[in-house]
A = this chain, B = another copy of it.
């Protein structure tokens, strides 16, 4: 199996998800639109600032759509674009892998630290 990833351009796009929060946010939008505060609660440990920054970046990159409803109090929703949905599909196996290999990784760490 060969996977190519050397290009400098790919670096730029892979950086999309190679950060602390993007994958979590995208995953949390998997079953429909969410509001800012909902995401803040759902994405464990994210600060308000980092949520804002990451959402803006994902919006800029065409991954999600930000909709401001002109009401008082403010109401803003975020949802995946088609591009964002395709990213979610591409990332799903990796997320599943993480879910399924918690213990193996933990065991490897313990063994390494013991050695």
Please give the residue numbers on chain A whose beta carbons come within 8 Å of chain B beta carbons, in ascending order.
1-20, 23-24, 27-28, 30-31, 42-45, 59-63, 83, 85-99, 101-102, 104-105, 107-109, 111-113
Q: Is chain A's binding surface mostly helix, strand, loop or mixed?
A: helix
Query: Is B61 in contact with A3, judged by CB distance below 8 angstroms?
Result: no
Query: Is A10 in contact with B83, judged by CB distance below 8 angstroms?
Result: no
Number of identical protomers:
2
Write the chain B residue with the least CB distance to A91. B94
Q: What 6 A-B pairs are tightest by C-beta distance, nearest first?
A: A62-B108, A90-B97, A5-B27, A13-B98, A60-B112, A3-B27
Complex contacts, A86 vs chain B, CB 8 Å: 97, 101
Considering the chains assembled together, what is the distance between the CA atoms of A27 and B10 in angstroms?
A: 12
